Structure 1
Amino acid sequence: MEIKIASERRYDLDWLRLIAIIILLFYHTGMLFNTWGWHVKNAETSESFRYWMVILHYWRMPLLLFISGAGTYMALGKRTPSQFAGERVKRLLIPLVFGMFVIVPPQIYYERIANYASYGEFYKTVFDFVPYPKGSFSWHHLWFVAYLLVYSLIAIPILIFLRSPKSAAFKASALRWLGSPAGLLLLPAAFILITQIALRPFFPEETHALAGDWAFFTFYFCFFVFGMLCYSNPVLWEAIGQNRKHLSVASLFILIPFYGFYFHLTDIIRLPWSADTVEIAFDVTAIFLSWFWVITVIAYGQHYLNRQHPWLSRINEGLYPFYILHQTVIIFLGYYIDQLPWSIAAKFWAVSLLTLTSCVAFYLLCIRPFNVMRLLFGVKLKTRQKNPVGVQEAAVRV
């Protein structure tokens, strides 16, 4: 049993989870300076930010959900379904509730700081339980935690099926359809596209509110399920890495129409089509780009990053608390640093690096040593009993 658990460990997924969180740090810091609306903005913005941020927007969270789907498949292997459900509730629901009352409110406060004499005066409005933006009650960036909780629970029947001998014929069929580069690229992307064609006319806006966000709820759930499916079949998983060169060619090629349509929508170039036609074409291309880039990153990670490092498990343990904290710290630091007479580049790197060091320090000093804080931030509690050397628990981490 010990050998089996150790062999299931995917160090490439740990490394990719770390990379995805670092990308998220830079992305949310960039929101202070690009031309899109956000909670706190620098007085001076930069057009250049949106050109590198737009592509990250379409695959950063799908990548995390694909990784979480694979991790969820691993996590159920050592538990009964009821144990798994209880563990998911503890690891996700408790931090979500804690975050909504402690971590998220400062973000709303700094967005509306001119309306209140103090934080205490503002904080009372949280308990009016009026949803943001009309009120002050929200999960903001913790939508990911809320969605992951729901995904984990509703996916239990799928997980049970994929782990049972009854799934052998299904897995063999999936391998036939997805084992080639064309199948691996086009069939999942087409499936995701069909869900969006069916749902986006009725739910066009991405709200992260769960109820009423069914198009994007389904969009992200597809990546979660494909993560489970791909990891459940070792031969299919191996095929992803073997086809990495074909996947990378497709991922680079799709940048041409993606940025072509985007440049039209941002008035840099003019294409001989109506704005509605270009917007639809951009949305379709963006869906394919999301899948192409996620599966390509997974492929290269599998090939180059499946290597253990002495610090990797410790780093990954802190990624979930880092995710919970990072946006609040960015907004707090950004509000004050944006008032300094510095260049955009200096402010960007100051906020990014100070957020990184602040969150890491808070985790090491205030979360990691104390079980109460570990519970509130979704970290596995410390116990006196140590696991056997070389055996690590496979768990879902964001």
Structure 2
Amino acid sequence: MLTTNRRYDIDWLRVIAIGLLLIYHVAIGFQPWGIMIGFISNGDSWTSLWLPMAMLNIWRIPFLFFVSGMGVYFAMQQRSWKQLMQDRALRILLPYVFGMFCIFPLSVMIWQRYYKWDVSYAFNPGHLWFLGNIMLYVTLLSPLFYYLKKNEPGKFVHGLKAILSHPLGLLPVLMLFVVEVLIIKPNPYELYAMTWHGFVLGLIAFFCGFCFVLAGEGFWNMLLKYRWIFLILAIAFFTLRFIWMALKAPGYLLAIESQCWILTMFAFGYKYLNRPGKVLSYLSDAAYPVYILHMIFLFLGSWWIFPLDIPVQLEFVLVLLFTGIGCFAAFEVIKRINILRPLFGLKLKNKKEEYSRHHATERHSASTIVL
């Protein structure tokens, strides 16, 4: 039975999405054009690695926006509008500002040092642009979300639940993303960071993620029933793009393929991942700090490993391991220093929090911090 208090599958999918983000960013360093978008590029490229990344790249960021909207639904259950905004400011805006001035500039300095450029400081959100978008979405949409929550027994929400309990009810959702790409015409489609395409697409996904959870058990059972159809469609669209279009499909087809992958992830996650565990508890807490810090360790690992005379595949594994181990080692330090915790999106430690951890009464709260 679907519950609104704990959705461990959404926690798991959030963790998986951050893991895919790390893999994707490491893979950019092995493409000859990586330096053009601010990454340290390996002199020995591994271009075939980009095939799975091309499949991943059209849905990984929209997927996180969906999860973010879902997280807000759960965060609202025991918070007033004022409490929600205060919590989001502390858990999202503070790490965003801190990262803009202290984290991303440090990664840029490492990049400059690697290429023997003059080292200079310049604040920039960089990869943390996502947090800025989420804070804006919460601010813009929370009045509407609270209205829907207050009127959940009403006709609109009842109709929403009826529509989304049928697969054809997904067509209006799909059309929103198709219309967005037809109007904005992003080039390339995957350019999300600090663009109108990324902002509008994220806003739509954020809103739809909220509605998916609001729609309740009927929606999730529908996803469960048609999960193989979503997967087959996603594979079919990617195969079409790879074989007949050389991975350069028009934007409206990319939008459709993207949604097929996202629905597949939600459906299989709901089927197999909706269960708690110590590993999930640990990774869910670590995901936010890892996301904030990973570019620093990625650039350090690239700096030290790329000059080695070893196969490029081994370099990829070593950079990925270095990035992961560095991030989790930093997390182990951060979580023990109370003054650092809010800067990385973690709650301050107190006795009540420790009690709730052991009793898991608010386990889903981790998934309300959205990356």
TM-score by length of 2: 0.90
Closer/same/farther in 2, CA of residues 303 and 166 from structure 1, 3 Å limit? closer
Instruction: Give the superposition deviation at 1:179.
Output: 2.5
Alpha-carbon distance between aligned partners in 2 of 1:107 and 1:151, rounded to the nearest angstrom: 27
Alpha-carbon distance between aligned partners in 2 of 1:106 and 1:345, rounded to the nearest angstrom: 27
Aligned equivalent of 2:339: 372
Alpha-carbon distance between aligned partners in 1 of 2:147 and 2:245, rounded to the nearest angstrom: 41
1:143–1:208: 8 Å Cα contact kept in structure 2? yes
Closer/same/farther in 2, CA of residues 167 and 139 from structure 1, 3 Å limit? farther
Alpha-carbon distance between aligned partners in 2 of 1:360 and 1:168, rounded to the nearest angstrom: 46
Residue 257 (str. 1) matches residue 240 (str. 2): yes
Q: Which of structure 1's runs of 4+ aligned residues deviate more than 4 A? A: 201-205
Q: 1:383 aligns with which of 329, 333, 350?
A: 350
Instruction: Give the superposition deviation at 1:199.
Output: 2.5
Alpha-carbon distance between aligned partners in 1 of 2:178 and 2:151, rounded to the nearest angstrom: 30
Aligned ranges 1:338-349 → 2 under 5 Å: 338-349=306-317
Alpha-carbon distance between aligned partners in 1 of 2:344 and 2:306, rounded to the nearest angstrom: 29
Instruction: Give the superposition deviation at 1:162.
Output: 2.4
Residue 288 (str. 1) matches residue 288 (str. 2): no
Aligned residues: 358
Residue 40 (str. 1) matches residue 10 (str. 2): no
Residue 151 (str. 1) matches residue 118 (str. 2): no
Q: 1:354 aligns with which of 318, 322, 325?
A: 322
TM-score by length of 1: 0.84
**What SS does the aligned partner of 1:87 have?**
helix
Q: Which moved more, 1:151-160 or 1:373-382?
A: 151-160
Q: Which moved more, 1:41-50 or 1:386-395?
A: 386-395
Alpha-carbon distance between aligned partners in 2 of 1:261 and 1:232, rounded to the nearest angstrom: 39
Aligned ranges 1:1-398 → 2 under 5 Å: 8-38=5-35, 39-113=39-113, 114-116=116-118, 122=119, 125-126=120-121, 136-165=122-151, 168-184=154-170, 186-200=171-185, 206=191, 208-209=193-194, 213-234=195-216, 235-260=218-243, 262-263=245-246, 265=248, 281-364=249-332, 366-385=333-352, 386-387=355-356, 389-395=359-365, 396-397=368-369, 398=371
Give % identity.
28
**What SS does the aligned partner of 2:351 have?**
coil
Q: Deviations over 1:175-212 (max 9, x none)?
A: 3433322432x331211111222233799893623xxx
Closer/same/farther in 2, CA of residues 245 and 204 from structure 1, 3 Å limit? closer
Q: Which moved more, 1:102-111 or 1:54-63?
A: 102-111
Closer/same/farther in 2, CA of residues 90 and 243 from structure 1, 3 Å limit? same
Alpha-carbon distance between aligned partners in 2 of 1:9 and 1:320, rounded to the nearest angstrom: 19
1:181–1:246: 8 Å Cα contact kept in structure 2? no
Instruction: Give the superposition deviation at 1:286.
Output: 0.9
Larger gyration radius, structure 1 or structure 2: 1
Amino acid at match of 1:229: C
Alpha-carbon distance between aligned partners in 2 of 1:308 and 1:110, rounded to the nearest angstrom: 39
1:13–1:67: 8 Å Cα contact kept in structure 2? yes
Instruction: Give the superposition deviation at 1:311.
Output: 3.2
**What SS does the aligned partner of 2:278 have?**
coil
Instruction: Give the superposition deviation at 1:151.
Output: 1.4
Closer/same/farther in 2, CA of residues 230 and 264 from structure 1, 3 Å limit? closer
Provide the aligned C-alpha RMSD in A.
2.3
**What SS does the aligned partner of 1:198 have?**
helix
Alpha-carbon distance between aligned partners in 1 of 2:282 and 2:21, rounded to the nearest angstrom: 19
1:95–1:376: 8 Å Cα contact kept in structure 2? yes
**What SS does the aligned partner of 1:306 have?**
coil
Alpha-carbon distance between aligned partners in 2 of 1:205 and 1:255, rounded to the nearest angstrom: 15
